[in-house]
Chains A and B, each alone.
Chain A
Amino acid sequence: MKVLVANIEDVMREAAARWTLIAYFFLSTLFIIIFASAVNLDIVNGALAGAKLFGKDVQMGDNTISIEKLVLGFESGFSVFLYFICTFLAIFATAHLVPRMQEKGTIDLYLSRPVSRVRLLMSRYVAGLILAGSNVVYLIGTIWLIIAWKTHVFHPRFLLGGSIMFLMIAILLAFAFLIGVVTSSTAVSIMTTYGIFFFGLMLAAHDRIAAAVSKEWQAALINGLYWIFPKSGELGQAVVAFVGGDEMPARVLSVLTPAPFLTSAAFGAVCLILASWLFTKKEF
């Protein structure tokens, strides 16, 4: 526990000193302020008389839309945007944790303590997750509060949708750690992690890509890669589906199955195990 506390303190102090923490939360706050000033709702006698988003009128049609439905639709649509923002900021703020620790003259100081290498790496991983998680909570929590304050609609699924984002961050951070252990390079860690995130988005259409390729082995390769890599596309869709709940179309809800979650989590777990094993074997 002391090792974990020491690593959390180290990571947080580094994030604060290097402006990462400030930039991380400043960008989030900026986003929240823009969001808060962009949403204007006109509620008369408890019913939504009109709504403006980013200065444009929201089409209400002839029928009145219940405020709950509007909030639900807005939150589910907006959650996918937050999914990208949170993931990107998190990787940017934490991918350096292993490469910096492995620098000559620094790693000696950490490894000369009575701590196993696996424990050291895992403590750093948890510290990174706490840093990223605190931003997810801040960003989603504040937006949820703004929506609740402006509409008086308290929709907990929007908050809970953050856990799917957090899962994606945990998986990508595990991959960033693996690359960090192997290359000791922050730049390579960030590039490859973003790469795998986008690759996962593309592979969401693996059926169509596999059907379009001319050779059977190419189709098998694409389908194989789909099952190996984290399903960033499906998990993004899952955030929308989860937040929207039963109001969402069946096509969107179809993604809420265990398979994309379990296979993506397995990818993250394998990355962490591999990172730990390589870190244990590595000579400094």
Chain B
Amino acid sequence: MTTLIEVSGLRKLYRSSFGQPKITALDGIDFQVREGEMFGLLGPNGAGKTTTVKILLGLTHATSGSASIAGLPVKNPESRRRVGYLPEGHKIPNYLTARQAMTIFGRMSGMDSATMRTRIPDLIERVGLGMKWADVRIKKFSKGMTQRLGLACALIHSPKLLLLDEPTDGVDPVGRREIRDLLREEAKQNGVAVLLNSHLLSEIELTCDRVAMLRNGKVAAFGTVEELTRKSATYKMVATPTDDSLVAAFRETGAGVERVNGHMVLSVSDVPHLNALVDKLRASGGMLNELTPVRSSLEDVFVDLIRAEEVPAGGTPAERDISQ
């Protein structure tokens, strides 16, 4: 799969007032986003998410490191030829109608009038705006409608990469779902890569394939949603019988065992350790009914990560995965 975003050792220092030390917004981050992938960028306020997106769009300049889109350095305006962007709190000139705004931004992306004549009505319907609003001034739009129009403007030139900053901000729950479906459709059918910058963690969890969590300008965790939400070496075991002797036998191996609502939650050191416990269960004549890794929500992972003062030596499990 083609890599659409390649970020390597990206650093950004902001000048502060005279005599004050510079502010480190990004401290050497690395990540890639591939074609057709939905990628989430998470982090608390000031973590460096917006700075990353701004560097990718050439809105601000990196202090060091490199960033490229579709193989072109971000300093080259051509790198944005197939990029659609929806900024948070965008202000599409409200004196325009939806159709006029899409025409102007389409033209700025090099589209011809004939293509736009068919593309605009199609997109207005796809984002759920409805053609009755096509020729109404934007100042009459609600926040959710403006957001839908912003998405349409981002998609007007059939981009290969979408950079979306809080795309569902102000949109009702049904609309959110529609937007999620639209993004998935773009990713699956057209191979569009989506970089989603959002505070709505449930939405990222529902939408994204991979996630990077930023903290203090660094990538604090990185991986698939599944990798990040899997509690390290913790499994739910449903077996019969789960008597005290079996629990004691498990504990003798050094495993942590908790009995919860008729099943056991096992904390093991590694996969061989888990297998050893299964062997013990079978040796005692027990039956294994279910064995599943225990997952936490992305929100739990996020909150744990933010609360942690320092990343332990060797990084989080996800960081260790990347370095391998």
List chain A positions with a Cβ less than 8 A from chain B: 2-3, 5-6, 9-10, 13-14, 16-18, 103-116, 283-284
Asked if residues A112 and B104 are in contact (CB atoms below 8 Å), the reply is no
> Whole-angstrom distance from the CB of A128 to the nearest CB of chain B?
16
Please give, as numbers and ranges, the residues of chain A lying within 8 Å of B3 by CB-CB distance: none
Asked if residues A6 and B95 are in contact (CB atoms below 8 Å), the reply is no
B58 within 8 A of A: yes
B123 within 8 A of A: no
> Whole-angstrom distance from the CB of A102 to the nearest CB of chain B?
11
Asked if residues B60 and A283 are in contact (CB atoms below 8 Å), the reply is yes
A16 to B59 alpha-carbon distance, docked (Å): 29
> Whole-angstrom distance from the CB of A115 to the nearest CB of chain B?
6
Asked if residues A10 and B104 are in contact (CB atoms below 8 Å), the reply is yes
Q: Name which residue of chain B comes closest to A3, CB basis.
A: B108
Please give, as numbers and ranges, the residues of chain A lying within 8 Å of B58 by CB-CB distance: 111
Q: Name which residue of chain A comes closest to B91, CB basis.
A: A105
Please give, as numbers and ranges, the residues of chain A lying within 8 Å of B105 by CB-CB distance: 6, 109, 113
> Whole-angstrom distance from the CB of A260 to the nearest CB of chain B?
38
19 A-B contacts (beta carbon < 8 Å)? A3-B107, A3-B108, A6-B104, A6-B108, A10-B104, A13-B93, A13-B96, A13-B100, A14-B95, A103-B91, A106-B93, A107-B59, A108-B57, A108-B87, A109-B90, A111-B59, A112-B163, A114-B80, A114-B109
Asked if residues A108 and B90 are in contact (CB atoms below 8 Å), the reply is yes
Chain A contact residues: over half helix, strand or loop, or mixed? helix
B208 within 8 A of A: no
Asked if residues A13 and B109 are in contact (CB atoms below 8 Å), the reply is no
**Contacting residues of chain B (51-95) with chain A, CB-CB under 8 angstroms:** 54, 57-61, 77-81, 83-85, 87, 89-93, 95
- Can you list, as one digit per residue, whether each of B104-120 has a CB less than 8 Å from chain A (1) or not (0)? 11011111100000000
Please give, as numbers and ranges, the residues of chain A lying within 8 Å of B104 by CB-CB distance: 6, 9-10
Asked if residues A105 and B96 are in contact (CB atoms below 8 Å), the reply is no
A103 to B92 alpha-carbon distance, docked (Å): 11
Please give, as numbers and ranges, the residues of chain A lying within 8 Å of B137 by CB-CB distance: 17
Q: How many residues of B contact A (CB 8 A)?
A: 35
A235 to B60 alpha-carbon distance, docked (Å): 41
Please give, as numbers and ranges, the residues of chain B lying within 8 Å of A109 by CB-CB distance: 85, 87, 90-92, 105, 153
A143 to B163 alpha-carbon distance, docked (Å): 53
Please give, as numbers and ranges, the residues of chain A lying within 8 Å of B229 by CB-CB distance: none
B234 within 8 A of A: no
Which of these, B77, B103, B112, contacts A114 with CB under 8 Å? B77
Q: Name which residue of chain B comes closest to A105, CB basis.
A: B91
**Contacting residues of chain B (150-179) with chain A, CB-CB under 8 angstroms:** 153, 163
> Whole-angstrom distance from the CB of B149 to the nearest CB of chain A?
11
> Whole-angstrom distance from the CB of A14 to the nearest CB of chain B?
6
Asked if residues B59 and A283 are in contact (CB atoms below 8 Å), the reply is yes
Asked if residues B80 and A113 are in contact (CB atoms below 8 Å), the reply is yes
Asked if residues B61 and A283 are in contact (CB atoms below 8 Å), the reply is yes
Which of these, A10, A114, A284, contacts B110 with CB under 8 Å? A114
Asked whether A13 and B95 contact (CB < 8 A) given A6-B104, A114-B80, A284-B60, the answer is: yes
Asked if residues A115 and B108 are in contact (CB atoms below 8 Å), the reply is yes
Asked if residues A113 and B95 are in contact (CB atoms below 8 Å), the reply is no
Q: Name which residue of chain B comes closest to A10, CB basis.
A: B104
Asked if residues A17 and B90 are in contact (CB atoms below 8 Å), the reply is no
A112 to B80 alpha-carbon distance, docked (Å): 6
Asked whether A2 and B110 contact (CB < 8 A) given A105-B89, A113-B105, the answer is: yes
Q: Name which residue of chain B comes closest to A5, CB basis.
A: B107
Asked if residues B54 and A284 are in contact (CB atoms below 8 Å), the reply is yes
